[in-house]
């Protein structure tokens, strides 16, 4: 698998096997490389698995975690890929092509796509595991959707990010 390495960010369309380890608020280890996101706005998702948080985090250019909320990620047979990606595009109204809703109602509204394979952060129940996407509560996803922009890094980790976010979240009274 070929990786394109830039000084501050790893860009890849698919890094299923790459474990991402948070080292600091804006620093992540991916395989043998360290990626620094200082000075960039980005999203971290600590998937809902043992040893991780089951939360998303929005981080601004100063490295301040200003928003966070619960998520649901991929079920065992549909694990959300870990890695550092970028927002590919956003879609306000969307129906999954791979897993369409039988009632014809959009099931991926407020989608923020981060892989070419269709993985996205989108509105969904945080009580039910997904087919690989990141479900975010309807009250939370709209703010994240408006803030996110194409090219913005999206970090997916199976490790806890809360130790780096706790101080900021307490300051903003986010639980």
Whole-prediction pTM value? Answer: 0.86
User: Which tops the pLDDT comparison, 49 or 28?
Assistant: 28
Q: What is the mean pLDDT of the chain?
A: 86
Confidence at 172, pLDDT banded by 50, 70, 90: confident
Domains in the chain with CATH codes? 4-168 (2.40.440.10)
* pLDDT computed for residue 8 by the predictor: 39
Asked if 18 and 25 count as a contact pair (C-beta separation under 8 A), the reply is no
């Amino acid at each position: 698998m070929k990786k394109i390495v830039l000084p501050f960010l790893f860009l890849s369309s698919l890094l299923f096997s790459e474990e991402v380890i948070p080292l600091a608020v804006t620093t992540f280890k991916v395989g043998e490389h360290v990626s620094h996101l200082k000075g960039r706005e980005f999203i971290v998702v600590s998937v809902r698995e043992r040893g991780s948080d089951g939360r998303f985090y929005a981080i601004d250019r100063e490295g301040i975690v200003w928003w966070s909320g619960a998520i649901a990620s991929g079920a065992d047979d549909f694990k959300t890929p870990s890695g550092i990606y970028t927002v590919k595009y956003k879609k306000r109204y969307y129906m999954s092509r791979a897993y369409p809703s039988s009632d014809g109602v959009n099931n991926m509204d407020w989608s923020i796509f981060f892989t070419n394979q269709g993985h996205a952060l989108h509105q969904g129940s945080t009580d039910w595991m997904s087919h690989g996407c990141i479900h975010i509560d309807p009250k939370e996803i709209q703010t994240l959707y408006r803030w996110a922009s194409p090219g913005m890094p999206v970090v997916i980790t199976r490790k806890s990010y809360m130790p780096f976010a706790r101080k900021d979240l307490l300051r903003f009274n986010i639980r």
